[in-house]
Amino acid sequence: MAGDGRRRGRTSGEVQPELTLIIPAYNEGDRIASGLIRLRTAAATGAIDLDTTEVLYVDDGSTDVTTAAATEAAASLPHGRVLTLPKNLGKGGAVRSGVAAAKGVNMAFCDADFSIDAKHLREFVAALSDADVAIGSRATTHGAVEYGHKFRTLGGRLFNRLVNSITHLDLADTQCGMKAFRGEVARILFATTSIERFAFDVELLTRCRQFGFVVREVPVGWDEIAGSSVRPFADPYSMLKDLAKSQLGGQIRPLSGYKVTGAISAEQLRARIANVTASPQPVVIESAQALLVVFPFATGPERSALGAHVLAALSPLKVSADAFTVKDLSRLAPLTVSQELTKNQ
């Protein structure tokens, strides 16, 4: 990485972190401090550079001291923040809220207790050099995740087999609590998914397959830490119900944006919108059939303001306003979503 490992952001003088690490937390007040120790241990080995990493704790409507513990932890970090949700959404909803607020070029999420050692983050970021998404795999050489509890192990194996038969993902460990994304890809994926609880991982990976995003599996070590909120049989059943509802994405709000039909390349288009300062940031999607500028997480007046900025930047190119559903994007696959060009880059 050149320079100090960070990029200039879209607002003047803002430095964009190389990575945002999203840590969803629900009633984790007694585990955040020990998780922070594990994170600092990984940083001491050079596995993660805290000076170029935004650490974003998302308190998912906790009823204990999670907000206070996360605030104390964040204050001790160079770029720590806490996002407090007014009510409990579930892990998927908490991570989605984190992605919408994240500032990093790349993004990752992990559990507050760091049961997956933070030292693996270096491998995840490295995998993004030739992939869109990197997912942890705790699977053993026998192709299955071994939990400390035999019923949880059995439930996990059953769920993974059912998931692969339904989605054709052919992945050994869809539920690993550490995953990383190129930032623009994360915004597209989380804006086109809706599951808020444990099955959100599978929905994300299903979208990867539908959109043609490249997924890499990263082998990880795993320490089961007491206090897991996963129920070995009830949760897999609930996950499958959620997954069945989400397969076609019909209940998900379409992504608003523009289809660009003028004579311009994707790289030129990104350069045109590089200095758009409105938030949330627009994302350029390229396929063999179309060139799109879309606005993940933008709604209402926010969407109107962003659209006006983008139209001004694209003038006099020929553009048409549209709303793109999951089915629309799937038909355009494989999609290419390159990292944005940033100011003063």
* pLDDT tier at 145, thresholds 50, 70, 90: very low
Closest CA to 242 of 229, 257, 252: 252
In this predicted model, what pLDDT tens digit does every residue of 13-28 receive, in sequence order? Answer: 567 899 999 999 999 9
- Using DSSP, state whether 303 is helix, strand or coil: helix
In this predicted model, what pLDDT tens digit does every residue of 84-126 receive, in sequence order? Answer: 999 999 999 999 999 999 999 999 999 999 989 999 999 999 9
Please state the pTM of the whole predicted model: 0.86
Q: Supply the CATH classification number for the domain 255-324.
A: 3.30.70
**Cβ–Cβ under 8 Å, residues 91 and 200:** yes
Please check the confidence at residue 226 and state whether its pLDDT lies above 70.
no
- Examine domains 7-246 and 255-324 and report if their fold is the same: no
With respect to CATH, is domain 7-246 assigned 3.90.550.10? yes
Q: How many CB atoms lie within 10 A of CB 109?
A: 24
- What DSSP assignment string belongs to 176-233? -S-EEEEHHHHHHHHHT----STTHHHHHHHHHHHHT--EEEEE--B---S-----TT
In this predicted model, what pLDDT tens digit does every residue of 238-253 receive, in sequence order? Answer: 666 666 665 555 578 8
CA distance between the termini of the chain = 13
Q: What residues does each domain of the chain span?
A: 7-246, 255-324
How does the average pLDDT of the chain come out, rounded? 83
Helices 66-75 and 32-44 pack at an angle, to 10 degrees, of: 20
- Show the beta-strand stretches assigned E in the chain: 7-8, 15-16, 19-25, 53-59, 80-84, 106-109, 133-137, 179-182, 215-219, 255-260, 283-286, 291-294, 319-324
Closest CA to 342 of 271, 266, 283, 292: 271
Edge-to-edge order in the sheet of strand 19-25 = 80-84, 53-59, 19-25, 106-109, 179-182, 133-137, 215-219
Tokens encoding 247:
């397969």
Tokens encoding 329:
């994007």
Tokens encoding 207:
């979208």
